Amino acid sequence: MSEGRKLRIVISDGGQKVAIPEEGIRGRRVGEPAAAAVFDLDEGTFAGGRFVVWGGPAGLEAELTVFGSGVPILSSERGTLRLTPHGAQ
């Protein structure tokens, strides 16, 4: 997601769940369908986080934000989301 870093993102259950398997992060979609899909991350992060997907001029974009304890945001990464067939790397 950030320059040089690639993450495998798995969106499942009809777009209701998200996982970042290599990081052990999982979450569920919140809110009504809108211009952006927002997922609350409740597994694999100490203080939670958020994963957001939206359509940009060049395709899908995404942002991964991990919340901290005592610090509002521990990390935030943003980049292009590239779709691959299930099972492909």
Structural Rg of the chain based on CA atoms: 13
Domain segments of the chain as ranges: 10-80
b/e burial code for range 49-59 (CB count within 10 A of at least 16 → b): bbbebeeeeee
The C-alpha atoms of residue 28 and residue 42 are separated, in whole angstroms, by 8
Residue among 53, 48, 46, 47 at smallest CA distance from 7: 53
Mean pLDDT of the chain: 90
In tens, the pLDDT along 76-88 reads: 999 999 888 766 6
Q: Tell me: the pLDDT tens digits for 29-52?
A: 998 878 899 999 999 999 999 999
Q: What is the 8-class DSSP label of residue 46?
A: S
